[in-house]
Structure 1
Amino acid sequence: MKAALPLFVLAAAALAGCGNGKTAVDPVRPVLTQVVSPGALATRDTYSGEVRARHETDLAFRVAGKIIARPVDAGARVARGQVLARLDPVDAKLAADASHAQLASAESDHALAKAELDRHADLLNRKFISQSSFDAKQNAYNAAKAKLEQSRSQAAITTNQADYTTLVADADGVVISVSAEPGQVVAAGQPVLRLARSGEKEIVINAPENQVTRFKPGQDVMVQLWADASLIFPGKVREIAGGADPVTRTYTVKVTAINPPDAAQLGMTANVAFKAGADSELVLLPLSALARDKSDPAVWIVEPKSGKVQLRAVKVGQFREDGVTITKGLAAGDRVVIAGVHKLRPEQVVRVAN
């Protein structure tokens, strides 16, 4: 047994000599990060809503017919006067042609009745005809004149109806939905698409019935985009629904966005909070960003030059439905790891994936 020990040591030394002498290096881990931007909403009393256009209109044809073209789809940006859809114009054109033909006939009858009236007026002055004969021509002229006016109105109506076979945008905006496809027969007034007009935007939220009394028309609030927590802008309560939704039992509250940033696109999610809830020094992070430094809460900070991570102790404010607030320990511009924090170690090199 004693002779076997030196052999084991020699074998271990020989195996060690077969290596390349390099120390194993931890792989570079990809991580998700967030740049610290103070100024989060201090209150947890927030209401999630959707960015909407102030005016949304269902556009429809004013006449019935078969759709032969719809050159725009949902999401298309359109300008005032741009063609959105077309109906088959054949029937409308035939009706317009018939009305114009009737108008031409009425104009001829009117001209003849006018000439007859003038001749009989001259004969009446010469005492060649009776007053009753002249009155008959006067009545015939009045009837021809009324028929002419009727034909003109009818021709104008059919001309307008022929124009109504083309649906155009009445304002600049974005098509947010379509309800009819080419080949479909639609009735007059049946929605074909929905247009969100450019310009004023608003945030539509649903307030529970036990909270709706907190909102008042004209009340100042703050709005924060979910896509970019650093974008906070003011808003004003514009409208509160007079009754609860029969399904959700919530009240719709519409908040006018005041000077919203260009990043606030239609359909985005936004949080609405009372204006007093904004804190210029408060930082909001996802719950997944929190780690532990012994027994204290901490976060991993990515050093911009070396790409290494360091654990930094922080002071937590509140745990909320939208994340966790940090009151101390972070500065503007710090890059915090928000995913995979439990697989990191100090001085480890990471690759920022976002």
Structure 2
Amino acid sequence: MFARFSAPRLRAALAAPVLVPLVAALLAACDKPEPRQEDVRPVRVVALAAGSVGERLEFSGDVRPRYESRLGFRVGGKIVERKVDVGAAVKRGNVLMRLDPQDLRLAESQARAALRAAETERDLAQADYKRHQNLRAQNFVSQAVLDAKQSTLKAAQANVDAARAAFRGQSNQAGYASLSADADGVVTGIDAEVGQVVAPGSPVVRVARTDEKEVVIGIPEDKLELLRNTVDVSVRLWANQQQSIPGKIREVSPVADPATRTYTVKVSIPAQPEVRLGMTAIVQIAGGNGATALRVPLSALVQDKGRTSVWLVEKGAVRMVPVQVAGQVDNDVLLAGGVQAGQQVVTAGVHQLKNGQKVRILTADVSRRADTEAAVSGPGAAGGGK
């Protein structure tokens, strides 16, 4: 029933299942493992540029006229005509409102009649004085009588002068029934309407001059020191943020606003047709104190063992260097030590690096030059070696 096997053939058959895996394992052990490739991480860098430490702040405000007049009539009366509306452009001498001139004209006529009566009295006194002069020459009257006639003439002449002054004043009063613009500008408000009786000097029309404009902003008390070290002031309109307009701080309020607790600051700007009253504006104030620093993005900072550091790229590898932060400008920080101008600092991927790691620069940012940075100016290197 069973085939007969010799002893050698039986041993070979039993050993075959064991030899096949063993041979396969030996062959696998003879293959050499592939070398592990070094990890090279992509990063973004920026080249450092040196300059003075500065701070740049932005405040929102609105464009206002430097001069705004609240015009009113010099005499009282009833308004019978309004010739302008809010927003109307006016020229010097344009009539804005009129009062009812009837009472003023009657007063002017009365003053004119009083002047004529005084002139008549003077003419009579003058003729009488001349007659008495002739009589005195013939020695028909005494010198005392002639002196009395002369005094009467002088009093009559004084009455004429007084009546003439009153007539001129009343004529001016009649002219005050028309309210005219005293300068070129734009009407910003109407405080009285037709039919209203106003007192002398009561404001009825507001006119803002358009030749000089300024931007009014509010600054918190902890930023007032920046105004003393201001090196540059620029204004950008919300309607056109690409255009920068040079500004100059004209006035700083000595008292804080009781509601906002900010100090009102007025920044004068040159006259430009595109700058209109009421526009929203952004005032950018830059200050400096003379110290040198380097400006880097906020994303470049790394907190390591309680110290602020950055990654420097040197010969294709990175090295962590502690730095000293001098301040912040917008989304950037100012470094006052630990690095030097011209070095490349990693700005993206800083939390995935380690000392000596090879890196590949994705995009080399354009070097930040001092003359293009608001808070960085002047050549030189930040202190502090490596």
Q: Quote the residue 1:266 is aligned against.
A: 277
* Aligned equivalents of 2:268, 2:146: Cα separation in 1: 71
Does the Cα contact within 8 Å between 1:209 and 1:250 map onto a contact in 2?
Answer: yes
3-state SS of paired residue (1:205):
strand
| Alpha-carbon shift at residue 246 of structure 1 (Å) | 3.2
Residue 199 (structure 2) aligned to one of 167, 187, 210: 187
| Alpha-carbon shift at residue 216 of structure 1 (Å) | 4.8
* Aligned equivalents of 1:234, 1:95: Cα separation in 2: 55
Question: Over residues 228-253 of structure 1, what are the superposed CA-to-partner deviations in whole Å (9 max), with x where a residue is unaligned?
Answer: 21121100011112222333332221
Matches within 5 A, 1:221-260: 221-258=233-270, 260=271
* Aligned equivalents of 1:244, 1:126: Cα separation in 2: 87
Q: Against the structure 1 CA distance between its residues 130 and 245, is the aligned structure 2 distance closer, same or farther, given a 3 Å change threshold?
A: farther
Q: Quote the residue 1:46 is aligned against.
A: 58
Q: Quote the residue 1:352 is aligned against.
A: none
Q: Quote the residue 2:134 is aligned against.
A: 122
* Aligned equivalents of 2:166, 2:241: Cα separation in 1: 60
Does the Cα contact within 8 Å between 1:66 and 1:183 map onto a contact in 2?
Answer: yes
* Aligned equivalents of 1:218, 1:166: Cα separation in 2: 48
Does the Cα contact within 8 Å between 1:218 and 1:237 map onto a contact in 2?
Answer: no
Aligned length: 241
Report the AA paired with residue 274 of structure 2: A
Q: Against the structure 1 CA distance between its residues 137 and 246, is the aligned structure 2 distance closer, same or farther, given a 3 Å change threshold?
A: farther
Report the AA paired with residue 256 of structure 1: S
Question: Over residues 198-233 of structure 1, what are the superposed CA-to-partner deviations in whole Å (9 max), with x where a residue is unaligned?
Answer: 211111112223323432599741001012211211
Q: Against the structure 1 CA distance between its residues 219 and 154, is the aligned structure 2 distance closer, same or farther, given a 3 Å change threshold?
A: farther
Does the Cα contact within 8 Å between 2:98 and 2:179 map onto a contact in 1?
Answer: yes
| Alpha-carbon shift at residue 43 of structure 1 (Å) | 7.0
Aligned-residue CA RMSD in angstroms?
2.5
Does the Cα contact within 8 Å between 1:43 and 1:273 map onto a contact in 2?
Answer: no
| Alpha-carbon shift at residue 65 of structure 1 (Å) | 0.6
* Aligned equivalents of 1:178, 1:206: Cα separation in 2: 27
* Aligned equivalents of 1:124, 1:244: Cα separation in 2: 82
Residue 331 (structure 2) aligned to one of 296, 315, 318: 318
| 2:80 equivalent to 1:68 | yes
3-state SS of paired residue (2:70):
strand
* Aligned equivalents of 2:128, 2:229: Cα separation in 1: 70
3-state SS of paired residue (2:331):
strand
| Alpha-carbon shift at residue 261 of structure 1 (Å) | 3.7
**Aligned-residue identity in percent:** 47
| 2:151 equivalent to 1:133 | no
3-state SS of paired residue (2:218):
strand
Residue 97 (structure 2) aligned to one of 69, 73, 85: 85
Report the AA paired with residue 90 of structure 1: Q
Question: Over residues 148-207 of structure 1, what are the superposed CA-to-partner deviations in whole Å (9 max), with x where a residue is unaligned?
Answer: 011011001110000001000111110011111111111111001111112111111122
Q: Quote the residue 1:341 is aligned against.
A: none
Report the AA paired with residue 103 of structure 2: D
Does the Cα contact within 8 Å between 2:56 and 2:285 map onto a contact in 1?
Answer: no
Report the AA paired with residue 251 of structure 1: Y
Report the AA paired with residue 113 of structure 1: A
3-state SS of paired residue (1:210):
helix
* Aligned equivalents of 2:104, 2:117: Cα separation in 1: 20
5+ residue gaps, structure 1: 1-41, 278-316, 320-327, 330-354
TM-score by length of 2: 0.58
| Alpha-carbon shift at residue 272 of structure 1 (Å) | 0.8
Report the AA paired with residue 254 of structure 1: K
Q: Against the structure 1 CA distance between its residues 229 and 75, is the aligned structure 2 distance closer, same or farther, given a 3 Å change threshold?
A: same
Report the AA paired with residue 276 of structure 2: Q
Which of the two has higher C-alpha Rg? 2
Question: Over residues 11-60 of structure 1, what are the superposed CA-to-partner deviations in whole Å (9 max), with x where a residue is unaligned?
Answer: xxxxxxxxxxxxxxxxxxxxxxxxxxxxxxx9762111111122111111
* Aligned equivalents of 1:157, 1:274: Cα separation in 2: 53
| 2:189 equivalent to 1:177 | yes
5+ residue gaps, structure 2: 1-53, 289-329, 333-362, 365-386
Residue 215 (structure 1) aligned to one of 208, 217, 227: 227
Does the Cα contact within 8 Å between 1:219 and 1:236 map onto a contact in 2?
Answer: no
Question: Over residues 116-164 of structure 1, what are the superposed CA-to-partner deviations in whole Å (9 max), with x where a residue is unaligned?
Answer: 1122122222211112211211111111111101101100111000000
Report the AA paired with residue 85 of structure 2: D
Does the Cα contact within 8 Å between 1:86 and 1:166 map onto a contact in 2?
Answer: yes
Does the Cα contact within 8 Å between 1:205 and 1:254 map onto a contact in 2?
Answer: yes
* Aligned equivalents of 1:269, 1:256: Cα separation in 2: 15
Does the Cα contact within 8 Å between 2:252 and 2:263 map onto a contact in 1?
Answer: yes
Q: Against the structure 1 CA distance between its residues 219 and 51, is the aligned structure 2 distance closer, same or farther, given a 3 Å change threshold?
A: farther
Q: Quote the residue 1:4 is aligned against.
A: none
Q: After superposing the two structures, state which structure 1 stretch, 114-123 or 164-173, moved more.
A: 114-123
